[in-house]
Structure 1
Amino acid sequence: MKITQETYDVVVCGGGLAGFCAAVSSARQGATTCLIQDRPVFGGNSSSEVRVTPHGAAAFHAYARETGILSELLIEERAANHEEIWENGWTNSVWDMTMYDLAMKTPNLKFHVNTAVQSVNMTDERQIASVVCYVANAETKLTIHGKTFIDCTGDGTVAHLAGCEWRMGSEGRDEFQEFHAPEAASKDTMGNSIHFKARDMGRPVPFTAPDWAVKHEDPSYFYDQGRLPKEMKGGYWWIEIGVPWNTIYEAEDIRHELTRHTLGIWDWIKNKDPKTKEKAANYALDWIGQVPGKRESRRIMGQYLMTEHDPAERTVFHDEIAFGGWFLDLHTPGGLLAAHSEPASAEGYTQSSEYAIKSYCGPYGIPLRIMISKDVDNLMMAGRNVSVTHAALGTVRVMGTTALMGQAAGLSAALAIRKGISIQEVPDTSITEVQQALLRDGCFLPNYKNEDPYDLARKASVSASSQALLYGAGPESKGFHEGLTVWRDQNHRIPHDRLLQRRGQWIAVGTDHIDTLSFCVSNNSGHVQQLKVALARVDHIWDYRVNTGTLLNEQTLEIPEGERIWVEWAVNATGLQPGSYVRLDLLGNPDLEWHRAGCIVPGHMSANEIGLNRMRRYDNGITMSFKVSPAQPCFGPENVLSGVTRPHQFTNLWRSEPNEPLGAYLELIWQETQSIRHVELTFPGHLIREYHAYSPFYRDPQCAKDYTIETYVQGQWKTVVQVAGNYQRHRKHELPESAAADRLRVTIQSTNGDPSAAIYEIRCYS
């Protein structure tokens, strides 16, 4: 056997999305970094071996898609991939190679695939010295030394071998009074899943299940227990088994049982189910996974234990380093062997039950302390093995969220090494530096914004060639959303927009008053209808309180009979705060239909009431029809210095006038000459919906395609950066040499389809 040793600053164990983002982030911060992955490809559950597509906050909240390294990867994959994304089973090797390419291109990063951690060497009981690994098919024993170790193995293998305290199973309700906790503590966990893919062959094809496959005969097992066999091509997350097997030690038993069940389920769909036999006639099995995707095992105890109260109540942490927004999604232990697969699916994904209302959460902040081991001084965790209760794991475990945690862990580890401090000290001594570095790297934090003292743009004034005004949008309005659809496996498009309950439309405020608001409704009841309307202040676009405590006006209007009638409300709202949002609410009247706009107005979402003084996103992130007078100047150039790179408390976006030709520009002006070497830009796009909503070869129409950066030097403009064919939202440019300038201009010659040039943020550094 070959025996080798290597030494790095940061050692990341586990190459799923959390580990991959941790390693890239650490290396980009200048730390020598090693990434150890026990599979031949990166991505963990998202890889082509397992094929679970990354989920996150945008599944439930408009403009809540994760950014940073994950966003960079997903944008690149969609731009390059010929194949659509379906729920599960449809990930191909384009995704694997997108990740591999980034790993290859990242300075300071070395990786070992097909390499498993087998043991841990300790300097003392609180310090890891090295991990001992075995390289499969190479007969190589590899000892890797490091200053800081990040356990992204999912199972918490490194932490377990290092002697850390961990939990597995569910806390009882009496321990933390969590609504989602069972009455009594249990060792039960959520299960593992394998997925399948079926292909339409264009003609009938037979299928015969092997004798050892599970036999299904009872339709209620599927239709009454939350296991709906929807589209024939696959994507069934509920093919899941855990209890009575241990998800770590008996993973191979689970894999075998899942294979038996998958073949039996396909046999039911193809040959027995009267609802699907004809639909599935032309489909053939194309792929069945043999690497189970795991949801839950060990959770390593950190400096802080996050409970479900934190995401439910949006706890604000001083050490916030990421955010989440998936619902409190706790699958039934046993999966296919239990009475139903998961409570929300068993309810038919209703939005108004007590369980559904109390499961809807976020976007919420995540603290760094859940990723720092309380027992080992140089150990961090990222992924589903972080310091949370079983109930809280239901929301933080999804890959979009774990990728953000990974990026924060890698950055924090590198920063601690650079400063010569222990990672244990970072939450109290260096958290502002971590947060500002994450924001600079394209991440979003719900409760923190750009306050980087080194950002020269913050000292500048800003102007633009033009700016768009907000007039509203109607059913006939046209948008530029080609290639942007909905994730079809969740919240199917509502077939009508009847006012079955209160619905609200967020409207950005750019002046101190609004005179009139109008909305487009249909009344086909045969007589005049009464409709109560209200206008209220809201804190931000995810302020889902029905009663925000700041009602501006309310009135009952008469709605005449007719189709697509524009109703004008003389709201006469004064004393408004420019740079904020108000919400127009139409209260429930099932005889009326409030029509959606034919386009999505940037930063303008809608929500509907679900009960318990709560609302949630309406449909998949759409704009309802409305008009506002006077038109609101809410897309001004000053928004690029707001410190926030997405709609939140305001639009935070500069948009040029869409009726003018492109070639629009944004200009920074300083009172004194600045030495500029780095310019960093954040463009719009890739935020409103989940990754699943984006088509093959997608390039977001809002994103700048061709642009230049110029500096004003000695009385004339000089082009210092010229870009063609861009589709990434976050771009960092190093100028060929430092420019001594008191003005800087970004000119967007073309976008990927939208008529407006647009920018969320511009930063400049010496």
Structure 2
Amino acid sequence: MIKSGETNSRSFPGITISTDLVITGGGLSGVCCAITAARQGMKVVLVQDRPVLGGNSSSEVRLWILGATSHMGNNNRWAREGGLVDEILVENTWRNPEGNPVIFDMVLLDKVKKEPNITLLLNTAVYAVEKKDAATIRSLKAFCSQNQKEYILTAPLFCDASGDGVVGFLSGAAFRMGAESRDEFDEKFAPSATYGELLGHTLYFYSKDTGKPVTFIPPEFALKDITKIPRFKTFNAKDFGCRLWWVEYGGRLDTVHDTEEIKWELWKVIYGVWDYIKNSGNFPEADTLTLEWVGAIPGKRESRRFEGDYIMRQQDIIEQRTHEDAVAFGGWSVDLHPADGVFSEKPGCNQWHSKGIYQVPYRSLYSRNISNLFLAGRIISASHVAFASTRVMATAAYVSQAVGVAAAICKEERLLPADIIHEGYIGALQQRLLKTGQYIPGLVLEDKQDLVQLATIAASSELVLTGFPGKPLLKPLTLSVAQMLPLPEGAVAPVVFHAEATADTTLQLELRISSKPGNYTPDVTLATRTIPLHPGRNCITLQFDAVLEKAGYAFITFIKNPLVALHFTEKRVTGILSVFNSVNKAVSNYGKQTPPEDIGMEAFEFWCPQRRPEGHNIDLKYQQGIRLFQAESIRNGTDRPAGQPNAWVADWNDPQPALTLTWQQPQLISYIDLVMDTDFDHPMESVLMSHPESVMPFCIRHYRIKDAAGNVLAEKRNNYQTHNRLEFATPVTTDTLIIEVEHPSEQVPAALFAVRCY
């Protein structure tokens, strides 16, 4: 036993940890930054003031992770974030396709604990900063509420991923809170004082059907008059979790220091809403429902934003401005909310999309006046309007991965964060990020250490897409639909399709492209044809009198006609998609974006894929053949569709697809990287929404690697991840590698984005 005598005072045990990088904040941004840095060789301390990781994506808040894919409700194709964000979402979809937030907690904890270079401190809050001088942080002080230990965390580099910017605030880093005036950055969407300067917090709840009647007696503090919520008539017994994102409050208060007050007001609303659903008599279907879970900490949207050497603004997003120091991308809409939140008469959000994804510059990821402080997550250097897009979790975490790699370069070269710009290391940072799976629009990987760049590549087959084999599906043309095809520059060859009509009618077809390379908004019409149809089956050879000035995706567009059904196919191919002029109200997509003239946004149509099992390709015949699936694609430096498929795809009928790499001299190979297609167009929401499959249909599940003598050097079965690294305990010396793969299914031919050897 322990028995203590009397004493005038005591103190908690103190622990000092010296490391390479201290990251404050264990939300998705902090997690992705920490794992990325650790895998780059950094010793990392990750400090999280909550009992689990994930922040707003954790079981404590339960918000789904989204970014540039925007629920597949915008024109950003193949835009799911890469690197660790992708790895985590793919892992969660494999383990947790039902979207259980508790299982997602487990996924994140497992990922972090697997990294030997990470020291994880949960339930530990940073409360003080010690500085070496006015511009330099020496150490942080933190306290763990569970073990009653005090920590002093010392490092040459620090990263603030805490959401509210606790380290930045305590260290004296320049920050902003609230909206800039319209004139400061010439942002036409800058909100008025009436709309408000801050986005508020939200609490969610979950309900459960018990199968028997359940009563609910509300607490005394519950909102008594539900009509104080202007949208109260939209409440129903089916919505729960983050579908109630608009139950928001606090935009007129200090969203840091008034958080507890905001939380109590949100509890008042939540319990009042449930009282209304259970006891108003308007929802008899709620008789057997019980309130299973209510959030205890609010999900925060906005508080402090810190100033870097560049402050992102509205024009960076809408005009898709390019930056020489680009290290990431975003693509969520510019999404502002009224400061009065749930009590506002205005719509719960005001979303305006850009025509494509935009670059995020490195200069926005470090403090302009604290020399060794990186910025990560939602606190990066952005105006209030630009923040409305960069704030969402997948984008925030994607940006944070760039910080992880930048920190490693700083350690290796003895640099401070801004030195990467000033001393010419930005190219090295970009290339290193690309190697980790970080897609940066407009950049390609140029890796001189990759032995595949020196190899001769041969394939057992290469798909030449002339059409889709197999029995077609007949589907009515109730929505306008376009088949996206990657075509070479020059004259567009004839296209053959079949349409079945119930009466004499006409079918309007258009050939469209995007006005900006890399975008997938079909806003330029090159040619239009109107085809007469007779009742029954019509076989049409379509010739557009058009020339593509540049290679890229073209949209063979069929304007809706309820009298017509088209032939579709169950076959799916990497880099090939159909898109529909449909509506997705969840992201303010009503088929066409028509903004007011004075807010600096663009008008255009939305053409979006459908979620599987829908989203079938149109059964077109392109008789000239599309020859963009060659084996050479595996070393072109782009690991996803972008302007073209960027993949080797085997022929449908190849019984044993294989790539053979040969060198003139034997090579010493330590490890091999393979990059699979896990469908970068699927958003993989982490909670609440379920997914049609746990493994993406394009992903190669089984493969083996042999040498020239047929010896199996490596084999993988039941793969589901994007990036596969095969490390050899003893390096292999060979002049030949044979990569044998299996087709994922009868409907999908095998495809690889990249093979790299080192």
TM range (shorter): 0.7 to 0.9
The equivalent residue for 1:602 is: 574
Equivalent pair of 1:198/1:283 in contact (CA under 8 Å): yes
Alpha-carbon separation, structure 1, partners of 2:273 and 2:573: 43
Q: Distance in 1 between matches of 2:300 and 2:323?
A: 29
Q: Is the 8 A contact 2:513 2:555 kept in 1?
A: yes
1:628 pairs with 610, 613, 622, which one? 622
Distance apart, 1:640 and its partner CA: 1.2
SS of equivalent to 1:423? coil
Offset of residue 475 of structure 1: 11
Find the counterpart in structure 2 of residue 405 from structure 1.
399
- The partner residue of 1:559 within 501, 511, 532 is 532
Query: Are 2:51 and 1:35 aligned?
Result: no
2:456 to 458, 461, 464: 461
What letter is aligned with 2:421? P
Q: 2:270 aligns with which of 262, 273, 287?
A: 262
Provide, for residues 1-39 of structure 1, a one-character-per-residue CA deviation record: whole Å limited to 9, x for no partner: 111211011110111011111111111111111111101
CA 1:555–1:341 in 2, change beyond 3 Å: closer, same or farther? closer
Aligned to 2:487: 509
Which secondary structure does the structure 1 equivalent of 2:264 belong to? helix
3-state DSSP of counterpart to 1:129: strand
Equivalent in the alignment of 1:52: 63
Q: Deviation of residue 244 (structure 1)?
A: 3.3
Q: Within 2, Cα distance between the matches of 1:697 and 1:474?
A: 23
Say if 1:705 and 1:752, in contact at 8 Å, map to a contact too. no
2:370 aligned with 1:370, yes or no?
no
Looking at structure 2, the residues matched to 648 and 539 of structure 1 have their Cα atoms a distance apart, in angstroms, of 12
Question: In the alignment, does 2:95 pair up with 1:80?
Answer: yes
Aligned equivalents of 1:698, 1:401: Cα separation in 2:
23
Matched residue, 1:699: 695
The residue number in structure 2 matching 1:490 is: none
Aligned equivalents of 2:285, 2:340: Cα separation in 1: 29
Find the aligned partners of 1:538 and 1:459 in 2 and give their Cα distance: 36
Corresponding position of 1:582? 554
Whole-Å separation in 1 of the counterparts to 2:736 and 2:149: 57
3-state SS of 2:663 partner: strand
Residue 2 to residue 643, structure 1, CA distance change in 2 (3 Å): same
Tell me the SS of whatever aligns to 1:703: coil
* 1:476–1:408 Cα change, 3 Å: same
CA 1:233–1:610: 2 relative to 1, 3 Å = closer
Do the aligned partners of 1:539 and 1:581 also contact (CA within 8 Å) in 2? no
5 Å matches for 1:246-645? 246-272=254-280, 274=282, 277-344=283-350, 358-428=352-422, 429-472=424-467, 477=472, 497-498=477-478, 504-509=482-487, 514-521=492-499, 523=501, 526-529=503-506, 531-534=508-511, 536=513, 540=517, 542-547=519-524, 551=526, 554-562=527-535, 565-571=538-544, 580-586=552-558, 597-598=569-570, 600-605=572-577, 606=579, 608=581, 610=592, 614-620=604-610, 622=615, 624-625=617-618, 626-645=620-639
Equivalent position SS for 2:313: coil
TM-score normalized by the length of structure 1: 0.87
How has the CA–CA distance of structure 1 residues 631 and 727 changed in structure 2, closer, same or farther, with 3 Å as cutoff? same
CA distance in 2, matches of 1:616, 1:156: 36
Structure 2 alignment gaps of length 5 or more:
1-11, 582-590, 594-601
Distance in 1 between residues matched to 2:541 and 2:281, nearest whole Å? 52
Is 1:105 the equivalent of 2:100? no
Shift of 1:272: 3.1
Q: 1:125 to 1:565 in 2, by over 3 A?
A: farther
Q: Secondary structure, in 3 states, of the residue corresponding to 1:318?
A: coil
**Given the superposition, is the C-alpha separation of residues 634 and 216 from structure 1 closer, same or farther in structure 2, using an over 3 Å criterion?**
farther
Pick from 123, 128, 134 the counterpart of residue 119 of structure 1.
128
Moved more, 157-166 or 732-741: 732-741
Task: Report how far residue 457 of structure 1 moved.
Answer: 1.2
* Residue 584 of structure 2: aligned partner: none
Q: 2:224 aligns with which of 209, 212, 215?
A: 215
SS of aligned partner of 2:555: strand
Q: Is the 8 A contact 1:75 1:686 kept in 2?
A: no
Question: In 2, are the aligned partners of 1:477 and 1:599 still within 8 Å (CA)?
Answer: no
Report the CA distance shift for 1:312/1:755 in structure 2 as closer, same or farther (over 3 A). Answer: closer
**Distance in 1 (alpha carbons) for counterparts of 2:199 and 2:553:** 40
Q: Taking structure 1 as reference, are residues 187 and 426 closer, same or farther at Cα in structure 2, changes over 3 Å only? A: farther
The more displaced of 745-754 and 16-25 is 745-754
Residue aligning to 1:492? none
Work out whether 1:198 is the aligned partner of 2:207.
Answer: yes
Q: Deviations over 1:455-482 (max 9, x none)?
A: 1212223221122232345996479xxx
Distance 1:185 1:408, change over 3 A: farther
What is the percent sequence identity of the aligned residues? 30
Give the direction of change, closer, same or farther, for the CA distance of 1:542–1:76 in structure 2 (3 Å limit): same
How many residues align? The count is: 716
Go from structure 1 to structure 2 and tell me whether the alpha carbon gap of 1:681 and 1:515 turns closer, same or farther (over 3 Å shift): same
Rounded Cα–Cα distance in structure 1 between residues aligned with 2:291 and 2:571: 38
Partner of 1:688: 681
Counterpart Cα distance in 2 of 1:7 and 1:243: 39
AA in 1 matched with 2:91:
E
Is contact 1:233–1:283 with CA below 8 Å preserved after alignment? Answer: no
Distance 2:483 2:744 in 1: 28
Aligned match of 2:182 in 173, 187, 197?
173
User: Equivalents in 1 of 2:316, 2:642: separation in Å?
Assistant: 20
1:763 matched residue in structure 2: 756
Is the partner of 1:388 in helix, strand or coil?
coil
CA shift for structure 1 position 189: 0.9
Q: Deviations over 1:501-555 (max 9, x none)?
A: xx5432122696543113455655x54326253355776563315127xx3xx24
Residue 729 of structure 1: aligned partner:
722
- Residue 742 of structure 1 corresponds to 735
Q: Structure 1 residue 143 and structure 2 residue 130: aligned? A: no
Asked if the contact 1:56–1:324 (Cα under 8 Å) also holds between the matched residues in 2, the reply is: yes
**Quick one: distance in 2 between partners of 1:749 and 1:649?**
26
Per mean C-alpha deviation after superposition, the further-off stretch among 229-238 and 410-419 is 229-238
Q: Is the 8 A contact 1:504 1:607 kept in 2?
A: yes
- Residues 687-713 of structure 1 show CA distances to partners (whole Å, capped at 9, x for unaligned) of 12111365387122322222112233x
User: Deviation per CA, 1:651-687, whole angstroms, max 9, x where unpaired?
Assistant: 11222222333x3111223334332212101001141
- Taking the aligned partners of 2:473 and 2:673, their CA distance within structure 1 comes to 31
State yes or no: 1:16 paired with 2:27.
Answer: yes
